[in-house]
Structure 1
């Protein structure tokens, strides 16, 4: 591979069907030929994040790679597995995938649990309902409100504009409401 030109490597990359070999070619272009992620993404007609995800595949344990080549797991399973940080976690997840014959979406749930130490219960508020809540709060408090929810966290951003006296009162009112909620037994994590 070292004797091939960058153009020849790009051609090989475009034709390659095996995702692990494709990942090695991308790595070779990045490290040995010093080609940027952006350039590789342009050649592949993919987003740069796709190229980054492909490079992560190089961390996949041989056990999982063998499972891919033997048809026990799909390339999608490999991509999802590569999100984990350690080889030990990947091996544990791989064994769980085989044992329970997990689909790709089920594997995503497993990886989230391992990565964030949060069990997903799939209780997501619909985007429509989040927008409704957000709009209601905006109108009621004359504030800009944004609400986000993923499978592992929720985020509420309230932006109140005005004089410092008004914004200070607003903040104190919110804190008081949150403290009441905590006294009633709910827990709230405050981020810096």
Structure 2
């Protein structure tokens, strides 16, 4: 199995989830602007959408989109799925919210010119962070057990803290520090050149 990723991008979330699950996989870096793999291959031959992440199984089948990839990983390691009758669905709900309502404003902030648009997106990101801080139900998003959705929340908070100057609320700052200490997260950050 191969994870096609770009260090520090949203593909860091499935990278963390794979490490948390203890699954064996190879990493292939992608230069997203040129759509070229680290070996010089054309990434669009792997994922015609042209962006990361992409998970390629040993049989050649390709899975794309964070919600799908992270859900598949969690299904291989059920301890990454929140408990309860709606645990899996709540995880997918959280992944969908972060993908649609948090990831997109970050992209808009990065690519749309103008201070006014940046201010609007900074406010939206801040509101989304406030909402997610209120959703924490213990040490992690769904309680005292790390879930696959926590991998994506960690990446989004990292972006706010590092790349976009959107200060997360104190609860998310403490959350980020906790998650950053997890061995699987440390291994991911090291593999991506951040530790």
So what's the TM-score if we normalise by structure 1?
Answer: 0.22
Larger Rg: 1
Higher relative contact order (CA closer than 8 Å, sequence separation 6+): 2
